[in-house]
Amino acid sequence: MKPMPHYKTWKQVLAQSRAKQGAESIIQQVQERYEQLLVNPPKVANRTQRMQLVNLILPGLALFEVLRNESGDKQAVLIEVEDSFKCSFFFGLRKMVGLVNYLPDPFPIVRWGMRRTTSETYLPGSHEVVEDTQHCFAINIYRCFILDTLQDFDAVELTALYCKTDDWLAERVPKVIWQRTKTLGWGDEFCDFRWCRRYR
């Protein structure tokens, strides 16, 4: 089987905090766990969820489980996983982020992207579009596929790191206002996402 997503990047990150041999041993265990997870994967509702599962959730879950079994220090493990996530998250988004930041007013393209993501990712009844205007796009999410999957694997604490990817993206797109006060991953009753046009 071909290497899982982020294999090389995470191997490099692991090598920064441990010997090369140790990093190679761990990433190989992560690869093996990823392959095991793919044998009987959680059910998905559509192609977007399938891609999310294979490219995002299961690689992160495999990394978390292997490091947790090795260390036992859950907080230290989460820090190490977060470092790995940060290094790999923007790998496929560089061109898009560059384009968005080049535009004098990127909100229309962000709004289009969020509309598309919402319609493809979230199932009917799992979300509510609160506002969709030329000024803001806001949604509330009442059920999260990532959270549901991680709960099934007793790794719910990992959800908060996936939530952080929204914050990391927002930091790199300063021309659009990003707001969020609640997430399911933090234990709230829903996630509230809001992207707004920045007026000068």
Query: What does each of the 200 residues of the chain score in pLDDT, given as a tens digit?
Result: 678 999 999 999 999 888 777 899 999 999 999 999 999 999 988 888 899 999 999 999 999 999 999 887 888 899 999 999 988 876 666 667 777 788 899 999 899 989 988 888 888 889 999 999 999 999 999 999 999 999 999 999 999 999 998 898 888 888 999 999 999 988 899 999 999 998 86
Q: Where are the domains of the chain?
A: 7-89, 98-197
Q: What is the pTM of this model?
A: 0.89
58-75 tens-digit pLDDT: 999 999 999 999 887 888
- Contact between 172 and 97 (Cβ < 8 Å): yes
What stretch of H or E contains 107? Answer: helix 107-121
Report which secondary-structure segment, H or E, holds 132. strand 127-132
Q: What is the pLDDT of residues 26-49, one digit of tens each?
A: 999 999 999 999 999 999 888 888
Give the residue from 28, 19, 4 showing the smallest Cα distance to 88.
4
Candidates 36, 86, 43; CA nearest to 61 is 36
Q: Are 193 and 166 in contact (CB under 8 A)?
A: yes
**Three-state DSSP class for residue 154:** coil
Distance between CA atoms of 144 and 134, rounded to whole angstroms?
27
40 contacts: CB under 8 Å, gap ≥ 6: none
**For 89, phi and psi rounded to 5 degrees?**
-60, -40
